[in-house]
Amino acid sequence: MTSIVPLPRVQQAPAGETPLHLSETLRIEAEPGAAAVAELLAASLRARGRRVTTTEVDGPATRIALRQQPAEPSATATSAPEEAYTLDVTSAGVELTAPTRAGLFRGSQTLLQLLPPDLSGAVAVDAVHVEDSPRFAYRGVMLDVVRHFFAVDEVLGLIDALALLKINHLHLHLTDDQGWRIEIDSWPRLTSVGARGAVDDAPGGFYTKDDLRRIIAYAAERYITVVPEIDLPGHTNAALSAYPELNADGVAREPYHGVEVGFSSLSAAPERAEATDRFLRDVLGEVAALTPGPWLHIGGDESWSTPAEDYRDLVRRITATAAATGKRVIGWHEIGASEDLPAGTVAQYWSYVSPVGDSADNVRAVVAQGGQVIMSPADAAYLDMAYPEPPATPGGRPLGLDWADGATSLAQAYGWEPTAIVDGISEADILGVEGPLWAETTHTMADVEYLVFPRVAALAEIGWSPAGERDAEDFVARVAALGPAWDAAGIRYARVPEVPWAGAAGDDR
> Does residue 390 sit in helix, strand or coil?
coil
Q: Which DSSP state fits 47? A: H
Q: Could you say which of 154, 302, 469, 498 is catalytic?
A: 302
CB of 305 to ligand TNX, least distance (A): 14
Of residues 193, 114, 155, 52, the one with CA closest to residue 482: 114
Closest CB to ligand TNX among residues 314, 476: 314
Residues 295 and 288: their CA atoms lie apart, in Å, by 8
Residues 185 and 165: their CA atoms lie apart, in Å, by 36
CB of 492 to ligand TNX, least distance (A): 21
CB of 363 to ligand TNX, least distance (A): 13
Which residues make up the interface to ligand TNX (CB under 6 A)? 261, 301-302, 332, 350, 384, 401, 438, 440
Closest CB to ligand TNX among residues 403, 427: 403
Of residues 110, 72, 95, the one with CA closest to residue 14: 95
Closest CB to ligand TNX among residues 332, 501: 332
- Length in residues, the chain: 509
Torsion angle of alpha carbons 441, 442, 448, 451, nearest 10°?
A: -20
Residues 365 and 336: their CA atoms lie apart, in Å, by 5
CB of 246 to ligand TNX, least distance (A): 20
CB of 334 to ligand TNX, least distance (A): 8
Closest CB to ligand TNX among residues 29, 440: 440
Closest CB to ligand TNX among residues 136, 438: 438
Closest CB to ligand TNX among residues 131, 384: 384
Dihedrals phi, psi of 170, to nearest 5 degrees: -120, 110
CB of 436 to ligand TNX, least distance (A): 7
Residues 351 and 341: their CA atoms lie apart, in Å, by 20
CB of 302 to ligand TNX, least distance (A): 5
Residues 381 and 416: their CA atoms lie apart, in Å, by 9
Residues 422 and 358: their CA atoms lie apart, in Å, by 11
Structural contact between residues 316 and 343, judged by C-beta atoms closer than 8 angstroms = no
CB of 279 to ligand TNX, least distance (A): 21
Name residues whose C-beta falls within 8 Å of residue 368's C-beta, 6 or more positions apart in sequence. none
Closest CB to ligand TNX among residues 206, 438: 438
Q: Is 221 exposed, middle or buried (0-12, 13-18, 19+ CB in 10 A)?
A: middle
CA angle 473, 478, 483 (to 5 degrees): 125
| Catalytic residue flag (residue 302) | yes
Write the DSSP assignment of 232-265 as a string of letters. ESSS-HHHHHH-GGGSTTS-PPPP--S---S---
CB of 384 to ligand TNX, least distance (A): 5
**In Å, how far are 170, 285, 337, 343, 347 from 327, measured between CA atoms?**
16, 10, 21, 11, 15
In single-letter form, the type of residue at position 51 comes to R
Q: Is 503 exposed, middle or buried (0-12, 13-18, 19+ CB in 10 A)?
A: exposed
Catalytic residue numbers? 302
